[in-house]
Structure 1
Amino acid sequence: MLLLLLLTSAFVLVPWTGAGRIIGGREVKPNSRPYMAYLKIQNGPATSTCGGFLIRPDAVLSAAHCVDKKGKGRITVILGAHNVHGRERSQQKIQVTQWVIHPKYSRDGFKNDIVLLKLKPKARINRNVQIISIPRRMERVTVGAKCKAAGWGWTSVTGNRTNVMREVELKVQNGTICELIFQKYQRQSMICVGDESGKKASYKGDSGGPLVCKQKAHGIVSHGRTRNLFPEVYTRISYFEPWIREQLKKFALQELPDSSSSD
């Protein structure tokens, strides 16, 4: 019956992407998610926001669709934040010197929706700013696992906004559910996630933020549908682990004396 309801609504709803919100969640204790990053993306007069997370002092992971239309725009990463519109001593504001979008990324179905951002200077690791581990290549989160997604943004479908970080618990779903709804869904590189009641979700504004399962970032908020909150699609980080490691090595080489920078 659930699959029938999903199918009947699949053709009238369009995917959402972008800045994201947490719906049906709760405010977290300030600085209790020290790996979280808030991205301010400026391209001319336009400014957008997304989530992200710190995986090394000089590197943040996020969703490619957050930055794919920004050209040579400016990206500022804010770490150690709880209220992103407040002046908090815990905050570190760092410029992104370059970003690397996965070479096979496509907005058509949001395939390979992942980007790595290089920070300079490096983040200062302390109580309020810390890195989070990512899974290895063959490490997969299991169906039924309860994970958490955090972010800033709208708290309802009517557009109520919040300046403080909120978090929601979501369950990893069988990929068949997402295959029925999203024609371009790929089991290897995507995770099907959601709350069957449709009352809890990440949404516009949370894009790029992590899906944390057992203290590891297993997914990246990618896309869903405008009206229905269930199911949602996250980028599967373990699938991209070799690519991530390769880019991190390049970042490290750029820090060596007399080494040239490359995009």
Structure 2
Amino acid sequence: MKLLLLLLAFSLPPRTKAGEIIGGHEARPHSRPYMACLEITDGDKILRCGGCLIREDFVLTALEKKAKRTKAVRPLNLPRRKVYVNPGDVCSVAGWGRLAPGGELSNTLQEVELEIQKDQECECLLKDNYNKTNQICAGDPKIKRASYRGDSGGPLVCKKAAAGIVSFGRSNGSAPRVFTRVSSFLSWIKKTMKRS
């Protein structure tokens, strides 16, 4: 079965780099049945992007491509309209991206827990590239744990729902990182799914 992927890259500011898990660990096999890995070959270059299944025929990601469903795949819930994550909440992110700046892409699914930060943390570090209306700031700057290149498009899972989508952060891979706030686009996502 082919899956339609939703494009959510519009909240990604120019000149930002998205992507990989830093300071995490290998995920237990089949523990995240909603995860999708998209691999695009461009000449010698392999680009990798994550995503999450939110319905049997829809993958939420930062790229628009087609994916193949398998028996080991189950959807992840969308957040409720008025349920928000708060500073101090602990969420998780997973992906097949790089394990360190300049490192190789992972062959196994990696996961890491990140603490939601106050919006001011990302506003201070990223200046005009952060918008608290449609973005979430996650990852303690004192702890070396983060999403990074290759994880872009994967879900930030909070309260058993896709609260965010891996977007961007500073090029050195340090926390905090920025995630697209799924609840800000819920109406659009649901309308798009109804049309297909």
Q: Same fold (TM over 0.5)?
A: yes
| Contact preservation (8 Å) 1:170, 1:194 | yes
Match of 2:40 in 1: 41
| Contact preservation (8 Å) 1:40, 1:76 | no
What is the one-letter code of the residue matched to 2:141?
Answer: E
| Contact preservation (8 Å) 1:198, 1:228 | no
Q: Secondary structure at the match of 2:187?
A: helix
Q: Deviations along 1:208-234, whole A, 9 cap, x unmatched?
A: 000011211100000001115121100
Tell me the distance in 2 between the aligned counterparts of 1:138 and 1:43: 41
What is the one-letter code of the residue matched to 2:22?
Answer: I
Match of 1:3 in 2: none
Corresponding residue to 2:151 among 199, 206, 209: 206
Match of 2:119 in 1: 175
| Contact preservation (8 Å) 1:135, 1:218 | yes
Q: Kindly indicate whether residue 10 of structure 2 is the aligned counterpart of residue 23 of structure 1.
A: no
What is the one-letter code of the residue matched to 1:21?
Answer: E
CA shift for structure 1 position 45: 7.4
CA pair 190-130 structure 1, distance change in 2 beyond 3 A: same
Q: Which runs of 5+ in 2 are unaligned?
A: 1-14
Percent identity for Structure 1 against Structure 2: 45
Q: Secondary structure at the match of 1:192?
A: strand
CA shift for structure 1 position 137: 2.3
Q: Secondary structure at the match of 1:202?
A: coil
Q: Secondary structure at the match of 1:163?
A: coil
CA shift for structure 1 position 23: 0.8
Tell me the distance in 1 between the aligned counterparts of 2:130 and 2:165: 15
Match of 1:139 in 2: 83
Q: Kindly indicate whether residue 95 of structure 2 is the aligned counterpart of residue 151 of structure 1.
A: yes
CA pair 137-49 structure 1, distance change in 2 beyond 3 A: same
CA shift for structure 1 position 44: 7.2
Q: Secondary structure at the match of 1:244?
A: helix
Pairwise mapping of residues 236-255 of structure 1 onto structure 2 (< 5 A)? 236-251=181-196
What is the one-letter code of the residue matched to 2:174?
Answer: L
What is the one-letter code of the residue matched to 1:155?
Answer: L
Tell me the distance in 2 between the aligned counterparts of 1:239 and 1:153: 26
Match of 2:106 in 1: 162
Number of equivalenced pairs: 181
What is the one-letter code of the residue matched to 2:172?
Answer: R
What is the one-letter code of the residue matched to 1:171?
Answer: E
Tell me the distance in 2 between the aligned counterparts of 1:247 and 1:42: 28
Match of 2:172 in 1: 227
Q: Secondary structure at the match of 2:193?
A: helix
CA pair 39-218 structure 1, distance change in 2 beyond 3 A: same
CA shift for structure 1 position 28: 1.1
Q: TM-score, normalised by structure 2?
A: 0.85
What is the one-letter code of the residue matched to 2:179?
Answer: Y
Structure with higher Rg: it is: 1
Q: Deviations along 1:153-188, whole A, 9 cap, x unmatched?
A: 211123143200010000100001111122131111
Q: Which runs of 5+ in 1 are unaligned?
A: 1-13, 68-74, 78-93, 95-122, 252-263
CA shift for structure 1 position 16: 1.5
Q: Kindly indicate whether residue 136 of structure 2 is the aligned counterpart of residue 195 of structure 1.
A: no
Q: Deviations along 1:78-130, whole A, 9 cap, x unmatched?
A: xxxxxxxxxxxxxxxx2xxxxxxxxxxxxxxxxxxxxxxxxxxxx45x4x210
